[in-house]
């Protein structure tokens, strides 16, 4: 399953305010792209357009060369799975019921889901024990992982994640992103933590000032100069004494 | 299962119990009323009538021509109100939503009040009240639909605001009609209708609500996968390939037709459409494939016995059904809402 995503001259508005203009972005099949940028820069807005939840005000988004705007909703849902930031599912839904919703685009609305895909997806994220728990009994971090499990049950080749590591403790942040990495899917994710973006993603795209300020490998993009310009903090790049990998030390 | 796990009542068992309870309730309810009829006679009449012949028993007319259609209508209206309540609660994602939220019944009350106070549709004879209510319901539903669509679509907030505002306006018109009426009995007739009554039930009245309830239930079950996705919110549903805007239009039209028909035959019976969906949800969870059948059965059984109470408590006078459902319903609802473990959705 291929999933080559391409945004051409995309413009996004909220009301009369232009949030992003003239955005060009290509994501190759199997590539993982992290969208970084300060609060309010338009990361979520861009993701919503890339996932076709919102239509761009101008320009177009293509999946494997086909405009998303002309693709039937069901077919699009089989190609793109979304984990959004502010989802609040019904409190009395069980975890396996919530994860089974990922099968909706694969079955007719009058059929009954077997639940097998949901349990497999929960297994994959180590959440099997939560299957019969009501959603309101989950912590914020557990809910986030359950929502990722739903995206896995959806079996879409393109995964769009809006800050998937929010609310997660350190271990689960890394576990989740490692799982995502191992899936071999095409991934576009908004990420706050620059270190995580650098470690788990092939490419980093910086959204700032109403457009894309920089894009490329973490080493090329996340320079002290750019981070200072975009985030307004000073950083120093140091090499990890044991692994030799580059890290950003923040010194606001 | 750990202590935090939630148990769901087994659907098949629950359905079987519900169907049996309903099948027992229907003939049992025809035994009770202003005149009490011995059980042996009731059984005899039902046995004969179900074989297609009138019974020899003296109570044959009372049981088969007066009470049986009324009991059956109670079951159908009860099921219908529960299903309609489910539709509206799913549509607006709000635990306080009931079938009358979107203004349909207030429009119907204007039509019914016009029939009672001004004598319009007199040519329709005994059907005048139903015709008036139905026309009022259609006009109200079309108005709410038109305004909500014109202001950006059938979003929950838009629907609740438009429905509530227009309901007040329609109620004002109905009140004015009562106020300026010179008929001394008008106020009481209108009040009785507004509070719901099955006193006018007849065999001829049954087919329309039966069709409305059956069609709505079947359509809901056919769309259940999409309705479940809608529980998680419109954005999630859209990302799962659900045609949210069209689904909302279908749900709105379904509730408008169903509530219009129910109100036309039974007036404004309160509380059933609000509470029964909650009870069903508590038993089998929020997924529509499980919840809709359970809600329909529960609503049917509940209203059959509510109507028995309405007929017998102040016999020979009929008590309006909303009086009974309110007295029973308010405490039930408070207990439900008071349960720490029960929350309708994340938004509450």
Q: What is the pLDDT along chain B (348 residues), one digit of tens a residue?
A: 455 567 788 889 999 999 999 999 999 999 988 888 888 888 889 889 988 888 888 888 888 989 999 999 999 999 999 999 999 999 998 878 899 999 999 999 999 999 888 887 777 777 888 889 999 999 999 999 999 999 888 999 899 999 999 999 999 999 999 888 887 788 888 888 889 989 888 999 899 999 999 999 999 999 999 999 999 999 999 999 999 999 999 999 999 999 999 998 999 999 999 999 999 998 899 999 999 999 999 999 999 999 999 999 887 888 999 999 999 888 887 887 776 555 554 443
Whether B91 maps to a domain, the answer reads yes
Q: How many structural domains comprise chain B?
A: 1
pLDDT per residue as tens digits for the range A222-251: 888 999 999 988 888 888 888 888 888 888
- What DSSP state is assigned to residue B29? H
Residue carrying the six token digits 């079955």: A107
CATH assignment at residue B218: 1.10.3470.10
Determine, for residues A109 and B224 on separate chains, whether the beta-carbon distance falls below 8 Å.
yes
A82 vs B contacts (CB less than 8 Å): 236, 239
- The shortest CB-CB distance from B225 to any of A73, A111, A136 is to A111
CA A63/CA B193 separation, integer angstroms: 58
Domain A5-221 has CATH 3.90.226.10: no
User: Hey, are the CB atoms on A87 and B2 less than 8 Å from each other?
Assistant: no
Q: Which of B240, B285, B343 sits opposite A104 (nearest CB)?
A: B240
Find chain B residues with C-beta within 8 A of A101's C-beta.
228-229, 232, 236, 240
Residue B340 lies in a domain: no
Q: Does B193 fall in a domain?
A: yes
Whether residue B222 is contained in a domain is answered as yes
Q: Is residue B3 in a domain?
A: no
Measured between beta carbons, the chain A residues lying within 8 angstroms of B1 are 132
3-state SS class at B314 = coil
C-alpha distances in Å from residue B318, one per residue of B57, B299, B308: 25, 21, 10
Q: Where in the sequence of chain A do the CATH 3.40.50.300 domains occur?
A: 5-221
Unique residue bearing structure tokens 């995964």: A159
- Taking contacts as CB-CB distances below 8 angstroms, the residues of chain B near A134 are 4, 6, 341
Q: Per the structure block, which two tokens stand in for B156?
A: 């929950």
Domain range for B20 is: 11-334
3-class DSSP state for residue A104? helix
Nearest residue in B to A89, CA atom: B232
Residue B339 lies in a domain: no
Instruction: Using DSSP bridges, classify how beta strands A17-27 and A5-14 pair: parallel, antiparallel or unpaired.
Output: antiparallel
Top pLDDT among A3 and B281 is at B281
B2 part of a folded domain:
no
């Amino acid at each position: 399953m291929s999933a080559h995503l391409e945004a051409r001259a995309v413009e996004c508005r909220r009301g009369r305010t232009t949030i992003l203009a003239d955005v060009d972005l290509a994501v190759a099949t199997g590539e993982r792209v992290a969208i970084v940028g300060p609060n309010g820069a338009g990361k979520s807005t861009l993701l919503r357009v890339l996932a076709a939840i919102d239509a761009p005000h101008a320009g177009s988004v293509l999946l494997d060369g086909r405009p998303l705007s002309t693709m039937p909703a069901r077919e699009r849902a089989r190609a793109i799975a979304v984990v959004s930031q502010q989802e609040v599912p019904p409190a009395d839904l069980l975890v396996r019921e919530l994860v089974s919703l990922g099968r909706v685009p694969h079955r007719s609305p009058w059929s009954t889901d077997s639940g097998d895909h949901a349990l497999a997806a929960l297994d994959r994220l180590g959440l099997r024990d939560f299957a019969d728990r009501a959603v309101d009994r989950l912590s914020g971090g557990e809910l986030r992982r359950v929502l990722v499990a739903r995206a896995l049950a959806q079996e879409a080749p393109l995964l769009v994640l809006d800050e998937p590591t929010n609310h997660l403790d350190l271990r689960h942040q890394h576990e989740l992103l490692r799982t995502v990495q191992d899936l071999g899917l095409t991934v576009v994710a908004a990420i706050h933590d620059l270190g995580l973006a650098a470690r788990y993603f092939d490419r980093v795209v910086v959204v700032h000032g109403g457009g894309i300020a920089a894009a490329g490998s973490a080493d090329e993009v996340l320079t002290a100069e750019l981070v200072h310009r975009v985030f307004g903090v000073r950083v120093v790049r140091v090499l990890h004494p044991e692994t030799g990998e580059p890290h950003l030390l923040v010194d606001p | 299962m750990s202590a935090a796990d939630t148990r769901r009542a087994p659907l098949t068992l629950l359905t079987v119990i519900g169907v049996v309870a309903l099948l027992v309730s229907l003939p049992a309810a025809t035994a009770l009323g202003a005149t009490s009829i011995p059980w042996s006679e009731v059984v005899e009449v039902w046995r004969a009538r179900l074989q297609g012949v009138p019974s020899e028993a003296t109570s044959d007319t009372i049981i088969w021509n007066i009470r049986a259609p009324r009991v059956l209508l109670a079951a159908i209206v009860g099921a219908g109100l529960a299903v309609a309540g489910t539709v509206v609660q799913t549509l607006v994602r709000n635990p306080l939503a009931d079938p009358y939220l979107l203004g349909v019944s207030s429009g119907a009350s204007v039509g019914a009040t016009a029939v009672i106070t001004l004598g319009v549709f007199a040519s329709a004879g005994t059907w005048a009240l139903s015709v008036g209510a139905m026309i009022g319901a259609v006009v109200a539903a079309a108005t709410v639909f038109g305004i909500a669509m014109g202001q950006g679509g059938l979003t929950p907030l838009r629907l609740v605001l438009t429905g509530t505002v227009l309901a007040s306006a329609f109620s004002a018109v109905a009140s004015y009609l009562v106020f300026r009426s010179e008929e001394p009995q008008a106020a009481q007739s209108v009040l009785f209708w507004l509070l719901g009554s099955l006193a006018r039930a007849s065999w001829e009245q049954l087919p329309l609500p039966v069709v409305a309830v059956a069609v709505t239930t079947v359509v809901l079950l056919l769309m259940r996968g999409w309705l479940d996705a809608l529980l998680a919110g419109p954005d999630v549903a859209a990302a799962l390939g659900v045609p949210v805007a069209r689904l909302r239009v279908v749900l709105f039209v379904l509730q408008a037709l169903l509530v219009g028909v129910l109100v036309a035959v039974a007036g404004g019976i309160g509380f059933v459409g609000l509470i029964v969906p909650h009870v069903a949800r508590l038993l089998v969870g929020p997924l529509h494939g499980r919840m809709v059948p359970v809600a329909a059965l529960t609503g049917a059984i509940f209203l059959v016995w509510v109507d028995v109470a309405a007929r017998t408590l102040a016999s020979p006078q009929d008590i309006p059904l909303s009086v009974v459902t309110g007295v029973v319903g308010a405490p039930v609802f408070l207990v439900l809402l008071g349960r720490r473990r029960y929350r309708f959705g994340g938004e509450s």
